[in-house]
């Protein structure tokens, strides 16, 4: 099946690692030209290099997507170097931290949490998504075409205890995306959302993880009732396949939808 992605320009936020990396590699394998964004320059550069090694075209752009001016500068540079953005994947959703930075928050009861941690979730998932969408949408309207896919979590649909701000911010992405889908349908722009369950996107095998990372991973496996579904966690490639389809010419009549990618964890 031809996905008609050849030479399309795709911007993936948080593309330097995990799910975003998988999406970059998959879109590039289909012939898209990649703008690999990340808060951490080294991560973005590494993935852009991987794309080039597999014969594709990619640039790395370091930008904090919560900063609208930085996002506009990123889109301007990408447009100059690769062409106008055809596909935006709003993937970054777990706040990055600078090296050595201590960050409060994480998995915690809302009543004992600090506003600082809510702010980081809202800033990244809501403002990050809004900033990037705003920066590419005018061009898409003028060219009468484009695909916007945002990555939410099933937490935003079914709620996740100890992740209240995250769940709320992800739900906000969904409402925002549906509204934009209604606004720009007349301009032939498709706006959709994928809702992930737990993803095992590690680049290193389990045995090579640090002890604390192993503990975290074990806890995640335990906390997800994956036995109800497909009996495994998602892989980045599962998400990448779905996003490649939604970004493709094969999904022209799909808009304002949320596609659950949780292997049966949530069936809302």
Query: How far out from the chain centre does Cα 196 lie?
Result: 10
Nearest to 154 by CA among 215, 93, 82: 93
Does 174 help bind ligand NAD (rule: CB under 6 A)? no
Does 38 help bind ligand NAD (rule: CB under 6 A)? yes
3-state secondary structure of 30: coil
Question: Least distance (Å) from ligand NAD to the CB of residue 94?
Answer: 4
Q: What is the Cβ-side half-sphere exposure of residue 158, based on CA atoms within 13 angstroms?
A: 14
For ligand NAD, the closer CB: 39 or 176: 39
Of the candidate residues 3, 10, 12, 20, the single one contacting ligand NAD (CB under 6 A): 20
Q: Outline where DSSP puts E strands in 124-252.
A: 146-153, 189-196
Name the CA dihedral angle for 132, 63, 81, 140, rounded to a multiple of 10 degrees: 0
Per CB under 6 A, the segment of 51-59, 61-69, 103-111, 180-188 that binds ligand NAD is: 61-69
Per-residue binding letters, 184-223, with ligand NAD (x by CB under 6 A): ------------x-xx-x----------------------
Is residue 25 within 8 A of residue 54, CB to CB? The reply is yes
Name, in order, each residue with C-beta under 8 angstroms of 56's C-beta and a sequence gap of 6 or more: 28, 29, 31, 32, 33, 34
For ligand NAD, the closer CB: 4 or 64: 64
Of the candidate residues 47, 82, 151, 242, the single one contacting ligand NAD (CB under 6 A): 151
Asked about 166 being catalytic, the answer comes back as yes
Is residue 35 within 8 A of residue 59, CB to CB? The reply is yes
Per-residue binding letters, 98-127, with ligand NAD (x by CB under 6 A): --------------------------x---
Binding site for ligand NAD (CB under 6 A): 13-14, 16-20, 37-40, 43, 64-66, 91-96, 124, 128, 151, 153, 196, 198-199, 201
By annotation, the residues acting in catalysis are 166
């Amino acid at each position: 099946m031809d996905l008609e992605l050849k030479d399309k320009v795709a911007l993936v936020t948080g593309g330097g690692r995990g799910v975003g990396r998988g999406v970059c590699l998959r879109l590039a394998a289909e012939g898209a030209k990649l703008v690999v964004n990340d808060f951490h320059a080294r991560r973005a550069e590494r993935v852009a290099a991987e794309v080039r090694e597999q014969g594709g075209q990619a640039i790395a752009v370091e930008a904090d997507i919560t900063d609208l001016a930085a996002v506009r500068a990123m889109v301007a540079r990408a447009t100059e170097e690769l062409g106008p953005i055809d596909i935006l994947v709003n993937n970054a959703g777990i706040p990055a931290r600078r090296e050595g930075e201590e960050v409060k928050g994480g998995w915690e009861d809302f009543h004992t949490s600090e506003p600082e941690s809510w702010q980081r979730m809202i800033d990244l998932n809501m403002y990050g998504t809004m900033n990037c969408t705003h920066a590419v949408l005018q061009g898409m309207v003028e060219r009468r075409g484009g695909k916007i896919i945002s990555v939410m979590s099933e937490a935003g649909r079914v709620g996740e205890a100890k992740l209240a701000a995250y769940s709320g911010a992800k739900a906000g992405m969904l409402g925002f995306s549906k509204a934009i889908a209604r606004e720009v349908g007349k301009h032939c722009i498709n706006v959709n959302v994928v809702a992930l369950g737990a993803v095992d996107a590690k680049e290193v095998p389990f045995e090579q993880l640090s002890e604390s990372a192993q503990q975290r991973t074990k806890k995640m496996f335990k906390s997800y009732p994956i036995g109800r579904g497909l009996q495994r966690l998602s892989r980045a490639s599962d998400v990448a396949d779905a996003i490649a389809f939604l970004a493709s010419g094969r999904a022209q009549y799909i808009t304002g939808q949320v596609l659950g990618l949780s292997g049966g964890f949530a069936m809302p």
